[in-house]
Amino acid sequence: MKKVTLSELGLKYNTDKASLFVYNNTTLKGHDYLKYYELFLKELKKEHFTLVELGCFTGASLKMWKEYFPKAEIAGVDLNPKLTSLEEDRIHFICSNAVSIELLQKLNKFKNIKCIIDDCSHAWSDQRRSFEMLFPILSSGGYYIIEDLECGSMGAYPNYPPTVLDSQIFWDYAADRMRILRVSESCNQIQYRPFFNQLPKHIQDIELSIDMSIIVPGSIIFRKK
Ligand SMILES: C[S@@+](CC[C@H](N)C(=O)[O-])C[C@H]1O[C@@H](n2cnc3c(N)ncnc32)[C@H](O)[C@@H]1O
C-alpha cells in the first residue's frame, strides 16, 4: 500500500504548513514546510512519544500529526480556551500562553517529548522565550521547529555579543551555532567565542545541547543531542 506523505496529510487537513490551503473559499499558497520536515520526522513514525505544537487555531495540524504519527500523543497549546473542543483520542489541549512559565508545569505529565513546533505568535521575542524554556525539556534526539520566521523580520535586530538569545536574530543564531560550536567544543571556547562565558548558564547549556540546525525557507529545525 502506498504510504501517505506528510505533505499529502497537510493538504487533507488544510493546514497552511502544506503547499496549498483553502481559506474563505479561496485556495492560497501555503508555506510548504512539510516536504522538509518529513526528511527528519519520518524517523519518529514508529515511536511512542509526545509532540507539542504551540498554536492550534482550527486544529488542522494537530489532526495531521495524529494521523502521521500513529503511536504519538499530540499536545496542542493555545491561548484560546474554546479550543478544548479539539480534544479527542491522542489529541490533548493545553490552554496557556506559549511563553508562560506555567506551561512547563502543564507539560510535566507528558512523557518523552520528541518534537515541539512553534506556530503561534510568530514574534521573535516570543519564539526565543519559548525556545529557551522548552528546548531543555525536549528528549535527546528530538526536534524543535520554529515556523514563520519572516513574520518577525520587520522588528528585531541583533546586538552583539548576545547576553540572551533575545538579542540575536534566530536565523543568524542557528547558522552561527553550526559554524562555531563544533570547533569551539573541541578547541577553546574562549578563543573562538570570547563572549561564551558571559552567557547565562542555561543558555550555555542550550547551546551545548544543539546537535544540528537546518534552515529551510521560513522555518528552522533544531535537533537536540
Ligand atoms: C497560525 S495559528 C496555528 C495554526 C496551526 N498550527 C495549524 O497549522 O493548523 C496561530 C495560533 O496561535 C495562537 N497564539 C497566538 N499567540 C499565542 C501565544 N502567545 N500563546 C499560545 N497561543 C498563541 C492563536 O490563538 C492561534 O490559534
Residue, of 78 and 152, whose pLDDT is higher: 78
Testing ligand 1's pocket by substitution, the residue of 37, 79, 126 carrying the most ligand atoms inside 8 A of its CB is 79
pLDDT score, position 157 = 37
pTM: 0.90
Query: How is residue 136 written as a grid cell?
Result: 531543555
What H or E segment, with its residue span, contains residue 117? strand 113-118
pLDDT score, position 124 = 75
Query: How is residue 78 written as a grid cell?
Result: 493555545
Q: For 178-197, what is the mean pLDDT?
A: 58
**Which residue, judged by its Cα, is nearest atom 26 of ligand 1?**
57
Query: What is d(CA 63, CA 88) in angstroms, rounded to the nearest whole number?
Result: 10
Dihedral of CA 187/190/159/168: which sign? positive
CB atoms within 10 A of CB 151: 14
Compute, in angstroms, the gap from residue 13 CA to the centroid of ligand 1.
Answer: 16
Domain hosting residue 62, numbered range: 6-150+158-224
Tally of domains in the chain: 1
Angstrom CA distances, 189 to 160, 180, 209, stand at: 17, 9, 15
Residue 112 lies in a domain: yes
With a CB cutoff of 8 Å and minimum separation 6, the contacts of 173 are: 165
CATH code assigned at 66: 3.40.50.150
Query: What is d(CA 12, CA 198) in angstroms, rounded to the nearest whole number?
Result: 48
Asked whether the bond before 81 is cis by omega within 30 degrees of 0, the reply is: no
Question: In the predicted model, what is the mean pLDDT of the chain?
Answer: 86
Residue 1 lies in a domain: no
Residue, of 2 and 173, whose pLDDT is higher: 2
Testing ligand 1's pocket by substitution, the residue of 74, 82, 121, 130 carrying the most ligand atoms inside 8 A of its CB is 121
Ligand 1 neighbour 79 (Cβ under 6 A): yes
Residue 143 lies in a domain: yes
Residue 100 lies in a domain: yes
Alpha-carbon torsion, ordered 52, 55, 60, 62, to 10 deg: 10
Angstrom CA distances, 51 to 153, 154, 219, stand at: 27, 30, 17
pLDDT band (50, 70, 90) for residue 104: very high
Q: For 8-18, what is the mean pLDDT?
A: 98
pLDDT band (50, 70, 90) for residue 166: very low
With a CB cutoff of 8 Å and minimum separation 6, the contacts of 186 are: none
Give the atom of ligand 1 at the shortest distance from the alpha carbon of 126: 19
pLDDT band (50, 70, 90) for residue 129: confident
Q: For 196-223, what is the mean pLDDT?
A: 84
pLDDT score, position 122 = 80
pLDDT score, position 153 = 55
Check if the beta carbon of residue 213 is closer than 8 Å to that of residue 174: yes
pLDDT score, position 110 = 98
